[in-house]
Structure 1
Amino acid sequence: MSNIDELLKFVSHELSFDNTGHGVSHSKRVLKNALIISKDLNVNEELLTVSSIVHDYIDHKLFKNQDAQIEKLKHKLTSLNYDNSFINQVLNIILNISFSKGKIPSTLEGKIVQDADRLDSLGAIGVARTFQYGAINNRNMYDDSENCTIAHFYDKLFKLEKIMNTENAKALAKEKTEFMHKFVEKFMDEWV
């Protein structure tokens, strides 16, 4: 079994509890997005691939003890014969891509993983994940509060297109964001 297959199996097992849209299917889509974005760019593809697969493994929304998750991830990557330098590069990427932290990664690979993750919040998949996350967190689809699911489109999702790091991601985000604007417009037309 290749390291990549082993990591996908690891993430699938470790995130099997997730019902918020951050499981292994999300990791696979982030990887797919990252490979599309990085086409014709000079990147470390192994670093990009590994970081894409494990990017949510230490996410504070999924795990209360981030330090314990970091240690488990280090152990797993070491068992796959990745050296400390590579592991530290992966950690540098995945610790700095969160929207809520407001950081821009320092490496091209980090910027691509951040863009790839954000792209999975957009388009048809993004709409589905947004409503899934809202339902799991007992948010109303729509009401006058700032905590309803529709508000999340305005608070975060519609802003992502403008903060993509790479030109390839900006182009992909534009189309996906247009779809979401049409969806929200139609949703509001049909809302009672």
Structure 2
Amino acid sequence: MTAQPYRTAIETFIAAHANPTHKFGHQPRLYALTQQIGAGLTYDDDVVFAAVWLHDLGVFIGHRPEDTEALKTWDHVAYVIEKAPAILKEAAFPEEKIPAVLEVIRTHQPQDTPATTEAIIARDADILEQLGAIGITRTLAKLGSDTRFCTFTEALHALKKQLATLPDQLRLETSKALATPRKKIMQSFIDSLEAEGGENLF
């Protein structure tokens, strides 16, 4: 089936703005996960598509603050909610669906409580992206470019926290099943990193 022109327009917009470049891959992976999670459920795929492609705009360089202190308190979700309507209208996305897209973006983080099926699917997918080999890769890619951690030890602590807290926050049974192999991969990596690095990991 041919993609709707507005989908292509949204993808093209994110491709042009994703900086660092490796952040682009999160969006197509996340959308693919939503399709796995949402199989058999009734929901608006347009809404999920637009939300997962736009949800991280505020973490891209050029959209987030350059000042280190300002970045520590930066609300990237509020930024996206402010910018998304104009982006979606420019892409000729159905205007009547924009409020639903904003709701998904507003509640896509683990600490949020999604109220719509679309938001639950997107949030579960975003949690899964923080687990397994992809979760490890994304975390380590932030070393040196993220205010949250600058050393391998700090990244290790972040991985441990992700593994300890995120799986229990998944809402759907399909998501929980997809998390099982990812948890095993992450635990194995953490164990190996601690064994190899020991007290000299830094």
Task: Give yes or no for the alignment of 1:54 onto 2:54.
Answer: yes
> What is the aligned partner in structure 2 of residue 36 from structure 1?
36
Shift of 1:83: 4.3
Residue of structure 1 aligned with 2:20, choices 15, 18, 21: 18
Task: Give yes or no for the alignment of 1:136 onto 2:145.
Answer: yes
> What is the aligned partner in structure 2 of residue 123 from structure 1?
132
Q: Which moved more, 1:46-55 or 1:27-36?
A: 46-55
RMSD: 2.3
Residues 168-183 of structure 1 aligned to structure 2 (within 5 Å): 168-183=174-189
Partners in 2 of 1:63 and 1:128 — Cα distance?
22
CA gap of 1:71–1:163, structure 2 versus 1, over 3 A, is: closer
CA gap of 1:60–1:107, structure 2 versus 1, over 3 A, is: farther
Partners in 1 of 2:159 and 2:196 — Cα distance?
17
Which amino acid is the alignment partner of residue 113 of structure 2? I
CA gap of 1:107–1:180, structure 2 versus 1, over 3 A, is: same
Higher helix share: 2
Which amino acid is the alignment partner of residue 139 of structure 1? C
Partners in 1 of 2:15 and 2:5 — Cα distance?
15
Shift of 1:69: 4.4
Task: Give yes or no for the alignment of 1:153 onto 2:159.
Answer: yes
For the residue of structure 2 that corresponds to 1:130, the secondary structure is helix
Shift of 1:133: 1.2
Deviation digits for residues 112-132 of structure 1, max 9, x if unmatched?
111111111111111111111
CA gap of 1:158–1:135, structure 2 versus 1, over 3 A, is: farther
The answer on whether the counterparts of 1:158 and 1:177 sit within 8 Å (CA) in structure 2 is: no
The TM-score with structure 2 as length reference comes to 0.81
Unpaired segments ≥5 residues, structure 1: 143-147
Deviation digits for residues 25-74 of structure 1, max 9, x if unmatched?
10111001111110111111111111111121245996247566444321
Partners in 2 of 1:4 and 1:34 — Cα distance?
16
Partners in 2 of 1:51 and 1:68 — Cα distance?
13
Partners in 2 of 1:103 and 1:69 — Cα distance?
16
Task: Give yes or no for the alignment of 1:76 onto 2:82.
Answer: no
Partners in 1 of 2:108 and 2:81 — Cα distance?
15
Identity of aligned residues (%): 22
The answer on whether the counterparts of 1:34 and 1:112 sit within 8 Å (CA) in structure 2 is: yes
Which amino acid is the alignment partner of residue 172 of structure 2? T
Which amino acid is the alignment partner of residue 93 of structure 1? V
Which amino acid is the alignment partner of residue 191 of structure 1? G
The number of residue pairs the alignment matches comes to 182
